Structure 1
Amino acid sequence: MVWHASLAENFNVSIPWIQISKVHVRASKFGQALVVETVPRAGGYVLGFKIEPDERREAACKEVSSLWKVFLADPVLGVKHTVEDAPTSTQSAPLERRADDVEIVDSAETSDTMAAYLADASKAADREPVFDPELGLAVEALPPGYDIGKLWSA
């Protein structure tokens, strides 16, 4: 429900249907008013709206109550989701087993490069970063004789 007051532009209200607990007309210090109450977890507000003439207030109350009841009968709480009937075990055909097409490369050169890089005893502190055009990133400078391609493929 959205309320926009034409006489007081700073008094605008938006209340989700799910937060409304009661809609009715009752007496206030300003006369009869449309009253919308919210649930306690939404602040428990009691909002009164003065609507003139009386016929217009009654029509607004009837319309808001009707829309609220429609929401309560079939609430829209997000994306609609429908569950399709799952096929029974007799309907579903067994899946064909396939072996993965994987080639395992165990190269001593690759593992030696990585091990030597990680176990660099002469490294006292982090090296300054340098731009590597192959990666397009700034990386720690490699020791002499090392190749980013070999480290990347390790």
Structure 2
Amino acid sequence: MSSRGRWNDVTIGFHIEKRHLDMNPGEFVIGEFSNITNQRRIRSDVKGNIIVTNLRIIWHEQNDIKVNLSIGFDCIREFRKDIQRSRLHNGTLFTIHVISQTVFPYIFLLQALEERTFTDLYQAVTNIHRAYRTSKIYRTLVLRGLVIKDGEFQILQNEHLIRTVDGFWNLSGDMGNLGKLYITNIRIVWVSNINDHHSASIPYLQIKRLIVRNSKFGSAMAVDINWSRGNFVYGFQTSPLEELKKITDEINILMNAYLVNPIYGIFVEGGLCAEEHNEVIESTSEEDAENDPTFEQAALEECYWDNKLLHEPGPPTYSHELGLAIETLPKGKTIQSLWNVL
């Protein structure tokens, strides 16, 4: 789930508006590649350009930027590469399979005829994806993480500790837990005084709102969090009330400054990534379909969705429902569910 208008890295977009192809705050271009074919398009001979950023992969046709594809790194499960001879192209065809981790996996085939382009593109996307996956602490809520080592608060790359507040209560349970609050330019971190592993690291990217309001414990700092598992509110408290309000205002100032140019945790050195971090279908008429953008979106998604690389055909099996032998169905699929699709 996106937060604070963030969507680039957590969504897959088909034919998005040109303004959404521009870099968002905190996003930057890492590499650009030309003459890349998006094999999943109906016209597979159309070449396009690839832009790899720290948050996503963008492909668009060379002659029509309106025909495009944006794949956030958070949506990608893995990459696979394939090299084979092609009579059609009278040479070797280099293919990168980009497999999503959505409920219905999409498989995007990015093809190149030049080995150098293929090698550089594959290295770029795999390195950025690895760096993205190992830097989630910059972008997501982390509970009970290792933020204290040998008694010292662990600073992330490009992170600056602004202030440490003792005597800060975590009100998440029926009983408050006393600990410390660490305020940085990227996040706020609470750590229990009793157990260093009892902690909460909350990036500013995940905070929807931070205010002082009443609770069953009295006035508390309420942190409204937009998390992938749902929205919830974290409560913290310290005394006196004036100090609590002052800290809340200070965090809001730091958060607003951070959101002007967010730090997503993917760093590049010399063109490559830096070292890893520690860490129901209704019928639609043809006329309606032509005027309905959601139908176009669904049609594009159907074009890209494919299960072939994830499901190897099994031996024939007898179907009592049909009275004949059929290919073994993928896990979770039934004859009735396939008829429902038709």
TM-score interval, smaller chain: 0.3 to 0.5
- Work out which structure has the larger RCO, using CA pairs closer than 8 Å and 6 or more positions apart in sequence: 2
Q: TM-score, normalised by structure 1?
A: 0.47
Larger radius of gyration: 1
Higher helix share: 1
Q: TM-score, normalised by structure 2?
A: 0.23
